[in-house]
Amino acid sequence: MLDYRYQTFLTLTEEMNYTRTAKKLHITQPAVTQHIHYLQNQLEVELVQYEGRQVTITEKGKQLKKDLLLLQKEIQQIQEQLNPKEESPSFTFGATLTIGEYMMPNLIETYLQVYPAHQLSMVVDNTKSLIDLLEHGKIDFAFVEGEFNQQFFGFHKISEESFIAVCSAISPLWRKEQKINDLFSAPLLIREEGSGSRLIFETALKNKGIHLDSFIKTMTIGSIGSIKKLVEKNLGITFLYRKAVEEELEKGTLKEIKLKKFVIEHPFHLIYLKETNAKGTEIAKNFKQLINLKNE
């Protein structure tokens, strides 16, 4: 159990308001202030600042929050090891949108066949958000398609995926091989910033000296399903992982645009904190073994 003053600090970082923090902890507002002052004096760093009447957390405070959340998770794991319960083990993991929608259903089915007593919870979000959740100890591991710090995280490559250009069946673009420049006159539908697939696409363009503004129009859509429906209606083109459009390509409702000298291949990874998350590392290894078996 963390010292109660650290608990006060964590609650303040969530509520960002002294009055709400006091109410949530069932203590007085002066007590909240006293706890924060105590920590700042003890640690000799400023954790909290006021900008007008708005509470802000300093960079040192944000680092302390991250460390405390990880420590809290470690304490919980130690307690579980010392007092094991008969109830089924449970864990929470993250997956980016493409992986969560188009890979995880089959993988989860396989996992539960091997570990039927385990209870799983999956959070689907973009790579940036999942990394933040992982760093703060709110998920045990994550399946991501975007970039991450390979020195900070343990990781395992689960597959190498093609990232392709897609258009409507009624568009003429798929009928012959195109140069990337030939697509600039078509509206482009892309995922939101923070999405791993968007970063991959922007990086591939940058490597060719191309900016997103080269396209006549760009529309940001946070849902892969919505992007595909809009492209089917010939309202634009998009770039998605082949795995996300396999069904539509097979049915013929979407078509791949073959491109000259613009091939994107990118790995999907399973990532986890190296040393501070024993349970997450262990469960991640279980998934890794199952993936290896499926790929053999």
Measured at the alpha carbon of residue 76, what is the angle toward residues 121 and 6, in degrees to the nearest 5?
110
Strand partners, 95: 124, 143
pLDDT tens per residue, range 9-65? 888 988 888 889 888 888 888 888 898 998 999 899 999 988 777 889 999 988 888
**First vs last C-alpha separation in the chain:** 44
pLDDT tens-digit map of 138-156: 898 999 988 888 888 888 8
Q: Which position has the higher pLDDT, 240 or 296?
A: 240
- What is the CATH code of the structural domain delimited by 90-158+267-295? 3.40.190.10
Q: Specify whether the CB–CB gap between 276 and 135 falls below 8 A.
A: no
220 residue type, one letter: T
For the chain, percent of residues with pLDDT exceeding 90? 40
Per CATH, domain 161-264 is 3.40.190.10:
yes
pLDDT at 175 over 90: yes
Q: How many CA atoms lie within 13 A of 194 on its CB side?
A: 12
In the predicted structure, residue 296 carries a pLDDT above the cut 70: no
> 8 near 21, Cβ under 8 Å?
yes
Top-tier CATH class for 4-82: mainly alpha
pLDDT band for position 82 (cuts 50, 70, 90): low
pLDDT at residue number 86: 47
Is 251's pLDDT higher than 50? yes
pTM more than 0.75: no
Q: Cα(144)–Cα(157) distance, rounded to whole angstroms? A: 10
Q: What is the mean pLDDT of residues 149-172?
A: 91
* Kind plus residue range of the DSSP H or E element containing 266: strand 264-273
Q: What local confidence, expressed as pLDDT, does residue 81 receive?
A: 62
Q: For residue 286, what pLDDT is reported?
A: 79
**Residue 217, SS3?**
coil
Asked whether the beta carbons of 215 and 183 are under 8 A apart, the reply is yes
Q: Where are the domains of the chain?
A: 4-82, 90-158+267-295, 161-264
Question: What per-residue confidence (pLDDT) applies to 247?
Answer: 93
Length of the chain: 296
